[in-house]
Every structure is written in structure tokens, then in C-alpha cells.
Structure 1
Amino acid sequence: MLDQIRPADISEFPCPIRDVLDRIGDQWSFLVLIGLEPGVRRFSQLEREIGDISKQMLSKTLRRLEQDGFVAREVHAEVPPRVEYRLTALGRSFLGPMRELIRWAEVNHGAIVAARRQKGAG
């Protein structure tokens, strides 16, 4: 398919790595995904578990994660309405590679900091 794309059309296909990391690489997305790993959570449960996230930011992050297919939102017709969030299969599949990246960062962080100091950037 890519061989059929004219150069002017290439901007319609963003770099997959940049596209995904731009969306989940913010300060809160990974914490929300980790908060949902044990199972279904309500908004207030996530807010308590994450701690220092504002209601507005949690709401925005959940909406984006839902839009990208990482999180499913279920509204129960009760009074007041009960809203629950859970990881989708896509969201759950993302946690493995992300944990590997975290392990890599933990193992190599010292070398990165040392290189920054050596080059005067840290």
C-alpha cells in the first residue's frame, strides 16, 4: 500500500512511534493505565490511587485513552449514574512493552545521567 502513496499523501500517515508516544507519553497516561491494571475502577478510585492528578486532567486523560482504544468506559443506568473504566485488550497488551522500557530506563539511567554530566547537560 505504501508504494501506491504519492509523496503529497505521506502526511496523512503519521509516524506510528511518534503518534503513539505523543498520546501515551504524557505525565498521566501510563499512571492511569497502571491504575486500571488490577481491574475495573471508578473515577474516584483512580483519582485516589494516582494521588496528585486533578479531576480535570484525569477526565481528559481517560477520554484520550478511551478514544485511542486503551480504555473502555461503561455507564450504568443508575441514580446517580455509575461510570466504570477498564483496560481493553489493546491497553493490556501495551503494559508489557512499557514495563520493558521502564526496566531498561532503570538499568541505564545511571549511564545516561553520567553522560549528561560529562557533556555538561545535566
Structure 2
Amino acid sequence: MERDPNSPAVELTPAAAGLLRRLRADHGPLMFHQSGGCCDGSAPMCYPAGEFRTGNADVLLADLAVEGMSESVPFWMSRSQYEVWSHTRLIVDVVEGRGSGFSLEAPEGVRFLIRSRLVDG
């Protein structure tokens, strides 16, 4: 299935956008990376912009615009994970519970979570 070029690859729920605004106020510009690795599976990890080094093994899926923030939040995914998720629209949401200690939201008692929808082909 091919992704509809008019359909965003990644979007934010209002709850995720609100959390990003709070994290931005505390930590400065932000970025996401989703590796699909062993530690947190398919959980998107939020870092200060540039703290996670991306390379040829990663794909930039979106620059997420967040109302009230002057810069966008890049959303990166490992290329191997993208091959699995390429037929879906990713929706970044927030749920209660602890995620990874490496992701900025961990002390907040919440974690980012990916929901997905199949893209019509």
C-alpha cells in the first residue's frame, strides 16, 4: 500500500500536543525517535532536540507543528521499524503510566504511545 501524500504520516492528539508544550517549556526544543528496539518496543521517545543522534538508519517522517510552539518537533523512526509501519498513519497519544526513563515525559507519570490507522491504498 502506498501512503496518501495528502495524509500526514504522523499526527498528535490534543493530549500529546499539550504535554509537548509543557515539556518544551522545561527542556527547550524537542524531537521524537521511535526505534522499535528491545527496551520500549514501539513507544516513541521524546528527547531534547539533537540529544538523540540520527543517521542513515533513520527516517524523518514528520515535522510536527504544535500550536503555541515556535518550532516543529521532528519525528524520526528507525528505517527497519518504518518498513513495518509504512502502511499506517501514526497517532502520538499520551496515556497514564511510566514509560522509559530516557524519555522526557517519564517523571510526569505518563508516557507517549503510538496508535495507528491503516492508510487507504
More strand by share: 2
> One fold, TM greater than 0.5?
no
Tell which structure's C-alpha radius of gyration is larger. 1
| TM-score normalised according to structure 2 size | 0.23
| TM-score normalised according to structure 1 size | 0.23
Larger RCO (CA under 8 A, 6+ residues apart): 2
